Chain A
């Protein structure tokens, strides 16, 4: 990551009862998830990046351009920062039609349109809604229009504040594929605020974990999710994200085999064609350990793995064991009793038994 292509941010916000103090270097491409519980400061950080938080003190260097440097008295107001922002709740202008909402930002942008309006409309699938008023749209449609409206300004940075939080499960699954297309088709760096691990695992390339206004960890998605040294707030939902390829379909038993470096897992038959990439999550609580390859078990996904690290879990009765399965990290949540009973030590070869796999997408 060279400095020129990166986003370097340093912000401090002091409110009664809450302090944000972060220093971050984010990649200039791909999706960065700002992940944490409510009150962790992730939305405040996003607003600082946008210049919406007037109380913030700090600096922001976007790919070599200074957007803010309070020490030197520089602060570009929000409307002079080439960014798009998608708010948590629907934020369409109620007095304008969908088309005029889309035009609002677009006609205020001078110069090149890297994202054409047609492309944004097509990407979010809102072509049939253009002449409607916002109050005639469903929640999911509104959020899609809001995303298209932000894209239509050809932003150099897209900021999204839990765009799915106000939606029910059905609407969420309606929008997620569009967000994945954004990720695949556009070169714009995206900062995505979320408190839902599955959303992060599905969309992000890079993760920033925030807790009480501080950065707890930052790094690539897989490395960060597999770390054990994080506060219990994150480890209670510990797990790893594995990127795999659809390798085989078994029509007799209606199963699909997914291959990844170091092994493979079998899941219920997927629609995706062979060769497609798929991400899945393995929760630590769904992984158990055995000394030998288990016989006579209903668990089909058994992987040989080496113990790399043991750490405290969210309860005193449990521990988290990080394993290396031929290059792919795994985390198992087992009891302290089992740890001692099985004699789990660093470097020991064991069998990981995966009870469940959460496919993302």
Chain B
């Protein structure tokens, strides 16, 4: 088992558990579909199938090694940035600037790969922030300048800066051989996605009082609080196995992930509502675009990262 040798033991157990959950979910879905053959199950079927692809690819790149996984997250940033820039309106003159915005992805992930924390943390908020308007000035088109500068910087912050925090978890100095960087990544990704599922399930079962009907009519206080309850407990008990956090610190991590995951979801919903579209793309069958899947992570990744960074690194 040469392939798995490099994966820390607890991280490997976590991966196997996720696959077990996925197998159970798939089986349940087939049984439900068999019981109600007249209903249309295509959407759910596609969704589950896509989950297999997402988790398959993620685990594959995580198993190959740190650099492969960093490349994988960099490619996700690329797809997310491309999707974002495609749905917002951009000026035809900004094509050159957008080209530079893409080039910041390999650089940002290179800082991650060499573990240069100082550069990683300021490259996009400082250097790209100053560079984008400068490159726009060289083009000389002032009509719509403010809006364009704002949209372009916001897009790289959301899709490159935020998401690259997931990758940086992999290169944090190892302080426990049982879980390593992979453990942190799995913890963050699992809690974020599990939170989405839980808020949905709790909302379906008990949802009554809407939180922000104008943005997201399906989001209810019952779903939000129910999800937070489940995630806080799960995050607390899993924390010592996959992260340097204690159980109490894990409870707080759960609250952070649950609340910020919700916020990420509704922030991206507002973007789509503004543009009057339902999905940001159709790259992932049954889910929509890549941003529809990454919305919560855009918020949970940096907040979770800085929480554990402050406490343990």
Partners in one complex: no
Residues of B within 8 A of A (CB): none
Residues of A within 8 A of B (CB): none
